[in-house]
Each structure stands twice: as C-alpha cells, then as structure tokens.
Structure 1
C-alpha cells in the first residue's frame, strides 16, 4: 500500500501543528531519536488509544545498512508479542520513503533513566524488575530466540511500572543457529556482553543473555556498571578476569546470584532456569506473567516489506559495526584515536603476536609493503608515504585485539579505505574473529 502523503498536516480534529500517519494515527510529541529513526507518541484515530510510532527514513544511507536489523526486530517482536513483558508491535506500514513501526507505548520510559535519576533502586524494586526480565527472556529462549543486547536502555516501563523488553534488532532467530546448534556472530554492547561472544567460535545465546542479566541486576542495585574502563582492551580484560567489586549495601544472596551469572565460563554460568529456582528470586514472586490471550492482528500494509519480515534467515551485521550506531551508547571514549589524521580498523584474533605479524607481512607483501619492527606489541608496514601502524593487545592468553591505523598525508587514509581494505580483509580472514571500524 502506497500513500502519496504519509505525514499529512491537518487543520481539523487533530490540531494545527500535528500530523497524521496514513490517515490512521495522530502524531504527538517526540519521545526519542536514534541514528536512523525517530519515535513519537501517537493516538489511534479509530479508538483513541495511545501508541508509539518509530518512523524510519528509507532515504538515509544508514537505513540501508541497518535494514537487516529492522527486519529482524519486526520478525522477532511478531513472534513474541503474546508475552506481557515484551514490547508489542501492533502494525507495520510503509511507503516509498518511510517505514512506520506502530508499537505499544511504554510511557514510563527507560529503566536506565530511572536508575540514573535515583542513583540506584531498592533491592525489592530491583527484584521485581529482574523477575519480569528473566521471565520474558525465558519465554524468548523457549521459542528459540536470544536477545543479545540486554541493557537498562532496552528495558522500558509502562504507565503501571511494568517492565517491557524492547529493541530486538540484534536478536537471533532459531534459523541463525549453525549445525553445531550455536551462534557465531559477535553481538551486543561491550559492558553488557558475555566474554564468549567475542570469540565467535560458537556460543549459547541463552547463556549470553544470562550474563547480561547479571550485569543489569548489578546496575540496578549498585547504580553503576561492574566492568568499566575508558579503554576497550582494558574493559575486556576486566570482563574476562571477573574484575569487579560489590558495594557494601548489596545483600549476600543478591551477590551470590550476580557472581554466578557473571561467570566467564558459560559451561558453569548459572542459567536463567536455575535463577528462577533461587530463594532470592522467588521472594514475593507473584503468579506467572504469561498471557494466553490472543493479541491483536499483526498487519503489514506493504507486501514487499511483509515478505522481507517473513524471511526465516536474515543477514546480520557485525555487532561492533552496529553498536557504534546505537543512540544509547557513546563509544567515543573507547574507540577514538588522538591522531585525527589517521583512520583504521580493529579486529580480534585468537592468533598470537608472531602469527599476526607474519600474516600481515605476507598480505602486505602483495601490495608492496615492507614490515618494520617496532617495540613490544607494535610494528608497521611501510610503503612510501603511506604506512600501517599496528598495535597488538593481549586480552587473554587466547584472545588478542589488533589496531590497524593508516598513517599518511594527502588523503592517503581515504584512498586506502576506498581501494585497499577489501583486499586486506580477504587476506587476513583466516586469523580474524571480528572486524570493526574506528569511530573518528
């Protein structure tokens, strides 16, 4: 279905400065904005109910990159819409220039805002939110889906203070599992992401979500994140070594639960099913939140969009490409380089320093670069006025982070980005676990 004027100003019934979406919803105030979408409060012109509408501009270049994420979000929310603690999607409409996701309104805002405003919340309140979060995620896992980006910014509250899990753009559908039954895409927000996700050797999405739940519970009770560092390498080291401290006001049962969730070894990490059996979790737990009622019909006004949403397998971006676009996360302190005349890439690898340098010398030789030895974990590959400055950081004994920076004047970095990175990526692929860009 196409509409010549999807956002139509009107002078009757809806107010002078309001707009109507495809003749069905009156747009209200702006609730928030991200890198590729704006979210508005809106009113249904049919029954006067309040909803939230995410408006995505198709014309923006970033929308093309984020399209798999958008389609995944719609597909997952459609499948999970019957749970009361998962944000419902009511309707999807599309025109040639915009996509409209009509969703349940969570008028209480982000749980993150509540924590930031109060500093921390009481253990009783934290338990109630945590119970709802765990119940929602167990429902996801029972249906074969993992969220993979659980954080307080993605946990919303409705007018009755009921928790709603949102933002399924990084979630995994059952069809994304490989033959080994595991997931292999690096995904999530660094401070909340399970350590095994970085390795991309296969991980259990449910166990990764359990780790994130442990971080969330710590944040609710402490008022700050357990793992924090201005340097990404330092952050990963703290996560892998379980380097955090509890504030004195957190009770021993809550500490024990968090400690068992923040186990770097997924094989021994507490599962969410086991969490549900602990005495701390069961305290004041009411009846199951699950609802057997049939939700409203899911409508798609654009057949081509519906076809895309129904695709079982959707392509996914590397998480480190996606998280830098997230409106809820500022990675500038982690990813920026002080040399603003350089540009580069960063990748993780399980190869050691010698294997990484040997491989980069081999690939560089194809393009006329010669290896120049450096100090410690650094070296360079030089070719006239252009050089690649390489720093190798050991995160664990079997995980390394490699920074590759293009150094040179006269627009060399831009030329290299356009002409050569593809060949380097292909040549280094056998030692690379995951790639991502610097935020410049």
Structure 2
C-alpha cells in the first residue's frame, strides 16, 4: 500500500497508542457526544449485512454491539460504573471510550474501545471492540461480567445472543370456535 491514493484521508478512530503516559495526559476529558448515524450507516450495521460470521467463529468475536433506549449520558455513566466494578481504567475522548485492564494477560493488557452512536433521539447503538489483549479474555469478560452488569440499559444485543426464554421464536396459537350466524 505504498500508493499515496490508498493512504490519503485515512483517519483512524480508535484510541490506540493511549498506553503511553504522554497520551494519557493529553486526553481531554471534555463532554463527549455520541456520533450521529445516517441512513446508509444504519443499514450497514444491520445483522443481515454483517459478513464477519463468514470469517470468524462466534467464540473468536472481537466486538459486541447492543442497542439501548437510554440517553447517551445514562449509557456512559453505566459504562463508568461497570468499569469501576471490573477494576478497568476508563478514558473518554471525542465520543470514544477506552477501557484498559489492570493487569497483563496472556497477550498483553486487555484494551476495549467503545463508541456510542445515536440512531435516533434516545435510541443508541453501542459498539465495543477488543483493541488489544487476548480474545478469549475479552469474550470471558464480556459474556460473564459485562452482559449481566449492563442488562438494565441494554434493549437488545446484536448477534450471537440467544433469545430470552420468553422469546423462543415459536408462536402460541389459541384455538377458538367460530360460529356462523
């Protein structure tokens, strides 16, 4: 990819390189607003258009998404609460949230990037991606700790989540007598 055409305009939106002390000190802790999505971005986030299942198995997923009908402020404060409970360091900048583990894992310190997207007023999509560390450690943290801690703000989990017991996909039909008059 030496051709300048391929590199022009690339703006990485992740908070990588936030591991150094200088980068952590430079982070501006001002109010972060969720990113607004247009119709094309919303359609591309649809599970029907997600081709990642062709390339990676469910146990190797490096990201999770959920929707919420809570405000961005409530979502952010709940993520802060979960981070404190799980002893994760949390940094906010420009609508991005970064979680860093407190200890070194098998493949380095676990680092998770989260971003809140505004689909409509009081309807948000939260995307959390593993930025560094072990994928299995990420999956364990997400499935055993975060999902249960976030259940009061999550409306639906996107992909990979079995439906709750009351939503098995089966429809119950009641029989009734129809009398002709």
Structure 2 CA distance, aligned partners of 1:395 and 1:426?
Answer: 24
Determine the structure 2 residue equivalent to 1:371.
Answer: 90
Q: Which structure has more RCO (C-alpha within 8 Å, separation ≥ 6)?
A: 2
Tell me the TM-score normalized by structure 2.
0.52
Residue 432 (1) aligns with residue 134 (2) = no
For the structure 1 residues 373 and 419, does the alpha-carbon distance in structure 2 shift closer, same or farther, using more than 3 Å as the test? Answer: closer
Determine the structure 2 residue equivalent to 1:401.
Answer: 125
The one of 77, 81, 102 equivalent to 1:362 is 81
For the structure 1 residues 401 and 383, does the alpha-carbon distance in structure 2 shift closer, same or farther, using more than 3 Å as the test? Answer: same
Residue 417 (1) aligns with residue 109 (2) = no
Residue segments in structure 1 that go unaligned for 5+ positions in a row:
1-227, 237-319
For the structure 1 residues 391 and 422, does the alpha-carbon distance in structure 2 shift closer, same or farther, using more than 3 Å as the test? Answer: same
Structure 2 CA distance, aligned partners of 1:234 and 1:370?
Answer: 33
Determine the structure 2 residue equivalent to 1:392.
Answer: 116
Determine the structure 1 residue equivalent to 2:101.
Answer: 383
Match of 1:435, SS state, is strand
Residue 347 (1) aligns with residue 69 (2) = no
Structure 2 CA distance, aligned partners of 1:355 and 1:419?
Answer: 21
From the CA coordinates, give the structure whose radius of gyration is larger: 1
Residue segments in structure 2 that go unaligned for 5+ positions in a row:
1-38, 103-108, 161-181
As a proportion of its length, which structure holds more helix?
1
Deviation at 1:364, TM superposition (A): 1.5
Q: How many residues align?
A: 113
Tell me the TM-score normalized by structure 1.
0.23
1:255-266 to 2 correspondences below 5 Å:
none
Match of 1:429, SS state, is coil
Match of 2:70, SS state, is coil
Deviation at 1:358, TM superposition (A): 0.8
Verify the 8 A CA contact 2:68 2:153 in the aligned structure 1: yes
For the structure 1 residues 355 and 330, does the alpha-carbon distance in structure 2 shift closer, same or farther, using more than 3 Å as the test? Answer: closer
How big is each residue's C-alpha offset from its partner over 1:189-236, in whole Å with a ceiling of 9 and x where there is no partner?
xxxxxxxxxxxxxxxxxxxxxxxxxxxxxxxxxxxxxxx73x3x2568
